[in-house]
């Protein structure tokens, strides 16, 4: 039993941390407040191969293990969680194509997705269907050698840049159970009827767009049905979301760690009543709790990632990591603001951004209440025994 990173993982983390410190931290606050898209950072992530993390080497990708994936998202989120979001949606969709796509789909898309020449995303959520994906209303029907898609999606990260955009649809709305009538279609950028209608206004998670997508009788060739078989979309998406939840857990750890780091540094610098506030027991108790929680969240995330690397189903493990780590991110960001006092509420520091970004982690890739239900089902079914 080893709770430490390997030498390779440590070197990988060091490289990522250097990248974040050099390329992201110096501009994050200004660009985030401006709502500016981080084009330059995206270009630099292409050059170091990050867009190929979940793509096999035979297609030009890095095919990193899941612990390395978690390291990437933690380190990026310590600098600016919005950057991690750009890479997260891409990595999830690329993994789905690599895992479930036909040979033709893999050869057509993966080489350019690995370099970032193409980017991708995932279109699941609708106005009336978030946690309950089986309630989606977007439809697709076969018309000769094409599928015709009609519907809309919201909160789609990377929507403007996705090429292709995997879209979850109902190809058989009368199927029973409902999930057997769901499929994923790969929509190429520029297809007629595919419209980015607007950006969704957000509390945090600035930088990447979260857009509403309209699909007005969009026609795609039958060759763009992911995996080439109707009715498999729901299972394809759920498998991807297990990996996505490790990503969100790691992002949460990054936010929580950064919140702790900033609280600790400020407590040592800020003086009150003639001494650093770090000398006061009230502050020490906060720091102790923050540090313990972030380390527990990190180890839980690494555990889920290593289980995924072993090839087993990780819905329970990823659910545990995502739920716990995201709650720690929320708690640590608030406690860091309290340690900072009035300055924590100021946009001159980064603490308020952490506070605004953290709540999304408890919602993204399934709400935390849903995570608890997934965990409970796995425990009751006996798939994983905790003892």
**What's the fold here for domain 133-231?**
Butyryl-CoA Dehydrogenase, subunit A; domain 2 (2.40.110)
pLDDT at 338: 97
Query: Nearest-CA neighbor of 230 among 182, 168, 292, 277?
Result: 182
| Residues with pLDDT less than 50, the chain | none
Residue 82 token pair: 């919005």
Q: What CATH number has the domain spanning 235-381? A: 1.20.140.10
CATH H-level, domain 7-115: superfamily: Acyl-CoA dehydrogenase/oxidase, N-terminal domain (1.10.540.10)
pLDDT at 349: 96
Task: Provide the angle, in degrees to the nearest 10, between the axes of the packed helices 315-340 and 368-381.
Answer: 140
pTM tops 0.85, yes or no = yes
Query: Nearest-CA neighbor of 241 among 136, 127, 367, 116?
Result: 367
Residue 211 CB-half CA count within 13 A: 23
pLDDT at 1: 63
pLDDT at 238: 94
Enumerate the domain spans of the chain.
Answer: 7-115, 133-231, 235-381
User: pLDDT tens across 331-370, in order?
Assistant: 999 999 999 999 999 999 999 999 999 999 999 999 999 9
Question: Could you list the active site residues?
Answer: 365
User: pLDDT tens across 280-297, in order?
Assistant: 999 999 999 999 999 999
Q: What is the 3-state secondary structure (H, E, C) of the chain?
A: CCCCCCHHHHHHHHHHHHHHHHHHHHHHHHHHHHCCCCHHHHHHHHHCCHHHCCCCHHHCCCCCCHHHHHHHHHHHHHHCHHHHHHHHHHHHHHHHHHHHCCHHHHHHHHHHHHHCCCECCCECCECCECCCHHHCCCEEEEECCEEEEEEEEEEEECCCCECCEEEEEECCCCCCCHHHHEEEEEECCCCCCEEEEEECCCCCCCCCCEEEEEEEEEEEEHHHEHHHCCCCHHHHHHHHHHHHHHHHHHHHHHHHHHHHHHHHHHHHHCEECCEEHHHCHHHHHHHHHHHHHHHHHHHHHHHHHHHHHCCCCCHHHHHHHHHHHHHHHHHHHHHHHHHHHHHHHCCCCCHHHHHHHHHHHCCCCCCHHHHHHHHHHHHHHCCCCCC
Residue 14 token pair: 């060091």
């Amino acid at each position: 039993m080893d709770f430490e990173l390997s030498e390779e993982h440590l070197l990988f983390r060091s490289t990522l941390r250097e990248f974040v410190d050099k390329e992201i931290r110096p501009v994050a606050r200004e660009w985030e407040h401006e709502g500016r898209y981080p084009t330059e950072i995206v270009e630099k992530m292409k050059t170091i191969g990050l867009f190929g993390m979940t793509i096999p080497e035979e297609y030009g990708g890095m095919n990193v293990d899941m612990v390395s994936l978690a390291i990437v998202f933690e380190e990026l989120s310590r600098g600016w969680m919005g950057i991690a979001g750009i890479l997260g949606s891409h990595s999830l969709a690329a993994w789905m194509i690599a895992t479930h796509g036909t040979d033709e789909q893999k050869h057509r898309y993966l080489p350019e997705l690995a370099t970032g020449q193409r980017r991708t995303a995932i279109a699941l959520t609708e106005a009336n269907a978030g946690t309950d994906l089986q309630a989606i209303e977007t439809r697709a029907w076969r018309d000769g050698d094409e599928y015709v898609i009609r519907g809309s999606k919201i909160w789609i990260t990377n929507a403007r840049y996705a090429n292709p955009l995997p879209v979850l649809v109902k190809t058989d709305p009368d199927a029973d159970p409902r999930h057997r009538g769901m499929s994923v279609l790969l929509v190429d950028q520029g297809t007629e009827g595919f419209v980015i209608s607007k950006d969704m206004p957000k509390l945090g998670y600035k930088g990447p767009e979260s857009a509403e997508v309209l699909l007005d009788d969009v026609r795609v060739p039958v060759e763009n049905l992911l995996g080439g078989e109707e009715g498999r979309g729901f299972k394809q998406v759920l498998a991807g979301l297990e990996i996505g939840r490790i990503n969100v857990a790691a992002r949460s750890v990054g936010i929580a760690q950064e919140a702790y780091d900033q609280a600790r540094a400020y407590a040592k610098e800020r003086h009150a009543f003639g001494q650093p506030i770090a000398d006061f027991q009230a502050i020490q108790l906060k720091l102790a709790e923050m540090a313990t929680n972030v380390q527990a969240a990190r180890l839980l995330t690494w555990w889920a990632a290593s289980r995924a690397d072993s090839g087993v189903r990780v819905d329970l493990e990823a659910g545990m990591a995502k739920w716990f780590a995201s709650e720690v991110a929320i708690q640590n960001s608030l406690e860091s603001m309290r340690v900072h006092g009035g300055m924590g509420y100021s946009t001159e520091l980064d603490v308020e951004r952490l506070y605004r970004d953290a709540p999304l982690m408890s919602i993204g890739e399934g709400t935390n209440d849903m995570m608890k239900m997934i965990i409970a089902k796995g425990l009751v079914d006996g798939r994983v025994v905790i003892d």
